[in-house]
Structure 1
């Protein structure tokens, strides 16, 4: 079991106050431990934690392009295997690099069966490059490439279900988690690095800048997403859901009201039609994963 007191991501980096991905980075390394090698794509975490010649990482860390972190990790894993070494090889990438730009390399790494753990810190847009829509952006959220206006209610496509996609690749372990529950993140990362084969973890990491909320409320927002059913914490082993966090579910309204990216659903007047569509997404999650207490 990993040492939960071990701090392998140092303080003094350039993340925003209340940054969800910064919190996730600390928790990931607590779960994987010091015998880890991190491959990281371009993205928010890369920019705030490794401005040359400085770094916040206390483990070997390799910067890749947006699209090829999984390919770089595959090469590292193959080289370590040839040398008879057994470090934990991690990819830590944002949702843009994972859901969109890098999905081909991820698919290849998982199809080939490399012993890596791919972790997506999901802040639900391309935050580093200007809050553009990604495949992880929720329905009706406003971004700079799906603006809400008189003829738009924001993003008109559903969030891509990447955990199910990678489970369909034959991944032995797939999990979702949230910075709202730190011990759960640590436990799932620890389990993933001890599981042979390509594993995937998706961590919900609210972004105060991109979502539009007070950075002191990051953990509160993360909990609200779970409590309304728009984010589900679960584990899948060999394609089957093994464990799900149960909740006494609340309506989606308060979660949506707490973020500027959904403000257009309430001003100048409440858009009951669109809010009902988002509530229906939460209802489908509840039925699919059996989250209701």
Structure 2
């Protein structure tokens, strides 16, 4: 089924949360829940979405949802799926929503185990490129040059000195049933991939790029534009892995301006021209590899 504004349900399964204005992550969760439907069981570790959704006496999820230990999203989701099967409860979906730190760092072992067992779960990484809930600390998915509270920028450092961990290819290396990258800047592509996850038997993984106005230092009304610019500038790519093969969903002939994407974000305002050239060089090397091996 192809989802769009005309046929997407008006029913809300994630509503009334306390997230910041312009939160890309909350949009990703809302759309995911609309597509998965009311027979969905969700597991969320410590992070922004659990913090803004489980506030007594209100709960943003209208379906069954639970907060997991930080490192255990994959394991808890797998246990929920197994429990539903043991109870004979059918026609359900089990989804884990974790942030970049809770996926690429703290939760990697549990995710890897779930994929290895091919547990029947959907795992979604909402990537806002830092540990935002605990004060904007660097994660394994924080890009080069980012100023965070644990990767300060100054005369001797550009902020983060490492590139983003390649979670999509790490997950694909498990020969997972289905994996994809997406961005809240391209909602049609995002919703189509959520639908694919919904219809995948076994473990599926979706990595969603989701800007954070608070942590990134940008105006809340440009979240979607920024998420689109990240893709158009080549810093984020849209791809899928299924049946043992990679596929690029968008292969631009020319990249949009990296500078225009970076300069509106407070976390990058300190960057020198030489730092931006490092970012571009890494992008070009990555795209040369993908175009050679995936097309």
Normalised-by-shorter TM-score class: over 0.9
- The separation in 1 between residues aligned to 2:222 and 2:39, in whole angstroms, is 33
**Contact 1:177/1:204 (8 A) holds in 2:** yes
**Contact 2:13/2:38 (8 A) holds in 1:** no
Q: How does 1:31-46 map to 2 (within 5 A)?
A: 31-46=35-50
In the alignment, what sits opposite 2:257?
251
User: Structure 1 residues 60-69 or 246-255, which shifts more?
Assistant: 246-255
Cα 1:116–1:143 shift into 2, 3 Å: same
- The separation in 2 between residues aligned to 1:10 and 1:72, in whole angstroms, is 20
Q: How does 1:134-145 map to 2 (within 5 A)?
A: 134-145=139-150
User: Structure 1 residues 1-10 or 18-27, which shifts more?
Assistant: 1-10
**Contact 1:232/1:285 (8 A) holds in 2:** no
Q: Does 1:149 align with 2:154?
A: yes
Cα offsets for 1:106-144 (capped at 9, x unmatched):
111111110111001000000000000000100111110
Q: How does 1:124-273 map to 2 (within 5 A)?
A: 124-247=129-252, 248-265=254-271, 271-273=272-274
Q: Does 1:102 align with 2:107?
A: yes
In the alignment, what sits opposite 1:268?
none
In the alignment, what sits opposite 1:77?
81
**Contact 2:136/2:148 (8 A) holds in 1:** yes
| SS at structure 2 position matched to 1:245 | coil
**Contact 1:229/1:285 (8 A) holds in 2:** no
| SS at structure 2 position matched to 1:12 | coil
In the alignment, what sits opposite 2:23?
19
- The separation in 1 between residues aligned to 2:280 and 2:247, in whole angstroms, is 25
Deviation of 1:153 (Å): 0.5
Deviation of 1:243 (Å): 4.0
**Contact 2:15/2:30 (8 A) holds in 1:** no
**Contact 1:236/1:243 (8 A) holds in 2:** no
**Contact 1:114/1:198 (8 A) holds in 2:** yes
In the alignment, what sits opposite 1:91?
96
Give the unaligned 5+ runs of structure 1: 266-270
Cα offsets for 1:199-235 (capped at 9, x unmatched):
1000000000101100011001111101110000111
Q: What is the aligned counterpart of 1:118 among 117, 120, 123?
A: 123
In the alignment, what sits opposite 1:289?
290
- The separation in 1 between residues aligned to 2:135 and 2:111, in whole angstroms, is 24
Deviation of 1:5 (Å): 2.0
**Contact 1:140/1:155 (8 A) holds in 2:** yes
| SS at structure 2 position matched to 1:290 | helix
Deviation of 1:273 (Å): 1.8
Cα offsets for 1:146-192 (capped at 9, x unmatched):
00012211001110011111111120110000111222212111111
**Contact 1:244/1:289 (8 A) holds in 2:** no
Cα 1:10–1:33 shift into 2, 3 Å: closer
**Contact 2:14/2:33 (8 A) holds in 1:** no
Deviation of 1:10 (Å): 4.2
Give the unaligned 5+ runs of structure 2: none
How many aligned residue pairs are there? 286
- What TM-score do the two structures reach when normalised by structure 2? 0.93
